[in-house]
């Protein structure tokens, strides 16, 4: 007979998040759980994530409740299960050998941008408050931006924000019947992020159309979906135009990334989540398609890990199945661009029926100019129009 002991269950590594909220508890004292059964569901600022059981056993005590804020290492339950020693013995395997070759460090090229005349103190203050100095007119010597200019800008922004204030429940109390619905943490953060992105980034959107006829004929043969073709083509295009695979950072510099990690916007019940396909340029069409399905399923089932959401370099948002003739996506910082895909429609051209898909790319005009955007889209369009299976 196996010897049982009481084991403490603790909150796992949360990645970059310092704390998270418990939005669902799937266990109660007396429940029998199996290995990998979901115990609780955590909702961070990026996604909802299940915490699975590492043991077969009986829940003795649950020490948290829904809505509690927790951090890594906090005790949330106790379980009666096989002794830790015997578990370790069963799972004990020799550690993999360390690679003999030293890891290569990717050198990030940094480009300086001129045009903002401000001192270090003003720049630091603006960074802390996430204020775009390009929107401020300097009144100092040689049009230098002073602390007073910054304060005036903050004051005027606060006054302007009064026109965008949120409404109160009482504003609608006399208008008819209504109900209240609490927004999920993901939706709340998403709303704040898109508002901040829209206010701080000078968006420009470039529109085009893709002839998807060859791709639609080849997608079954290649065991891939249209989004996979876009990600594959986008990976190749980013290698030719690395400025689109960059981020604008402090001290007016651009980091050109030598890795290509493409985020895909996934609609879930809790809100929009953006899992990331790591090293997309190194994957085949079939591998990309499999990753898209896997990550979308994980997002909708609250099984994403923090590692599934990190290190994105650009984002693709597709509304292909939901209709619409086009839309202008909002950039997802620290990206400098985002691609949108809309529903494919039929067009008759010289007696030939073509499958046409509208696409758009919003880009950060502080980093990318219109000519570069035009060349980028021509290159991307050429790959997709002329796909050769």
Inter-residue contact 249 to 187 (CB < 8 Å): no
d(CA 265, CA 190): 12
d(CA 388, CA 383): 9
Inter-residue contact 299 to 47 (CB < 8 Å): yes
Active site residue 55: no
- Phi, psi values for residue 306, rounded to 5°: -60, -35
d(CA 137, CA 158): 17
* Residue carrying the six token digits 């990717």: 106
Instruction: Catalytic residue, from 55, 155, 206, 365: name it.
Output: 365
User: Exposure pattern of 33-72 as b/e (b: 16+ CB <10 Å)?
Assistant: beeeebbbbbbbbbbbbbbebbbbbebbebebeeebebee
User: What strand order describes the sheet that includes 32-33?
Assistant: 4-10, 75-82, 57-62, 32-33
d(CA 156, CA 66): 41
Active-site positions read 365
């Amino acid at each position: 007979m196996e010897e049982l002991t009481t084991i403490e269950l603790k909150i796992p590594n949360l990645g970059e998040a310092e704390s998270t909220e418990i939005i669902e508890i799937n266990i109660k004292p007396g429940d029998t759980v199996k290995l990998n059964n979901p115990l609780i569901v955590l909702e961070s600022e990026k996604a909802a994530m299940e915490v699975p059981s590492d043991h077969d056993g009986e829940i003795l005590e649950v020490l948290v409740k829904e809505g509690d804020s927790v951090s890594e290492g906090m005790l949330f339950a106790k379980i009666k299960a096989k002794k830790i020693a015997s578990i370790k013995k069963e799972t004990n395997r020799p550690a993999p050998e360390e690679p003999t070759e030293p890891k290569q460090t990717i050198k990030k090229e940094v480009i300086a941008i001129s045009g903002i005349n401000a001192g270090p103190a003003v720049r630091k203050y603006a960074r802390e408050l996430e204020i775009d100095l390009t929107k401020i007119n300097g009144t100092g010597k040689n049009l230098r931006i002073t602390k007073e200019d910054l304060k005036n800008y903050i004051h005027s922004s606060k006054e302007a924000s009064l026109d965008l204030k949120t409404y109160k429940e009482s504003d609608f109390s006399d208008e008819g019947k209504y109900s209240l619905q609490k927004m999920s943490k993901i939706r709340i953060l998403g709303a704040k992020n898109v508002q901040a992105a829209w206010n701080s980034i000078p968006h420009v959107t470039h529109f085009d159309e893709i002839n998807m006829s060859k791709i639609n004929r080849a997608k079954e043969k290649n065991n891939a979906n249209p989004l996979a073709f876009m990600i594959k083509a986008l990976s190749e295009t980013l290698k030719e135009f690395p400025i689109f695979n960059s981020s604008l950072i402090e001290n007016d510099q651009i980091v050109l990334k030598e890795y290509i990690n493409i985020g895909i916007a996934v609609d879930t019940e809790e809100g929009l989540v953006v899992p990331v396909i790591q090293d997309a340029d190194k994957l085949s069409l079939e591998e990309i398609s499999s990753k898209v399905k896997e990550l979308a399923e994980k997002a909708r089932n609250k099984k994403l890990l923090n590692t599934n959401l990190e290190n994105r370099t650009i984002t693709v948002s597709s509304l292909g199945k939901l209709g619409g003739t086009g839309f202008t996506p909002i950039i997802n910082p620290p990206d400098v661009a985002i691609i949108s895909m809309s529903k494919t429609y039929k067009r008759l051209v010289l007696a030939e029926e073509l499958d046409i898909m509208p696409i758009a790319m919003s880009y950060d005009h502080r980093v990318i100019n219109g000519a570069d955007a035009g060349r980028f889209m021509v290159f991307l369009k050429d790959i997709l129009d002329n796909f050769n299976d």
